Amino acid sequence: MSATFRPANYRDVGEALGLWFDVSPIPAGRLLRGGRLDLMTTAGDLGSPGTILNLRRGPDPGHLTGVTYVHVAADDDVENYDTRQRRVRSWLGKALSVLVAPGLAWPVYVHCTSGRDRTGIVIAAALLAIDVPRQVVAEEYMLSDGADPIAIERAIDGILEWLPSAGVDVTRLRAGLTSEC
């Protein structure tokens, strides 16, 4: 790593899941999460993602080379933890569709401003879709600074209610998340 700075709440989801599993269901280096990347100087500082999924309202600066930028903005006037809302589910479905897109360049770095709220919801949905246990999903989220255990539990309830009818290609999502880089 050339930089000593990392985005807020940056982590490798596969490595984090290793805290709860003998063998993580997601290989290290496959799915990365954190906050805004504006101060990064190279994609290597983020774990060398092939794709950056931006959940912020505004676009990324586009200054990192060799990556594909995808922007799926969440409405700022919507409580993203309320995953029973149609607008939240629509946004969440769009974000998950990025992770199942044919030809997606892995690894993927998922981020919002702080790497906790919008990012936490998308990561939780992806993990729940591939059958990571609810408690592990909540604990992974709680690794974020400022994490709210009540909010993530409420979000998980809504995600679990929605996933069976969401139309997410779980087979493709599992294949993408669990393949070696």
Number of structural domains in the chain: 1
Q: Is the pLDDT of residue 144 over 60?
A: yes
Residue 181 has pLDDT above 80, yes or no: no
Query: Is 181 inside any structural domain?
Result: no
| pLDDT single digits (tens) 57-94 | 999 999 999 999 999 998 877 789 999 999 999 999 99
Residue 174 lies in a domain: no
Token duo for residue 31? 């799915």
Q: Note down the domain range covering 54.
A: 11-169
State what percent of residues in the chain have pLDDT above 90.
88
Identify whether 3 is part of a domain: no
Asked if residue 1 is part of any domain, the answer here is no
Q: Is residue 123 part of a domain?
A: yes
CATH number at residue 18: 3.90.190.10
Residue 39 is predicted with a pLDDT of 86
Q: Determine if residue 33 is left, alpha or beta; phi over 0 gives left, psi from -120 to 50 gives alpha, anything else beta.
A: beta
Task: Return the DSSP state at 23.
Answer: S
**175 lies in a domain?**
no
What is the rounded distance in angstroms from the CA atom of residue 173 to the CA atom of residue 95?
12
Residue 2: inside a domain, yes or no? no
Run of H or E including 113: none
pTM: 0.95
Residue 6 lies in a domain: no
Average pLDDT value over all residues in the chain: 93
Give the span between the Cα atoms of 132 and 177, in whole angstroms. 12
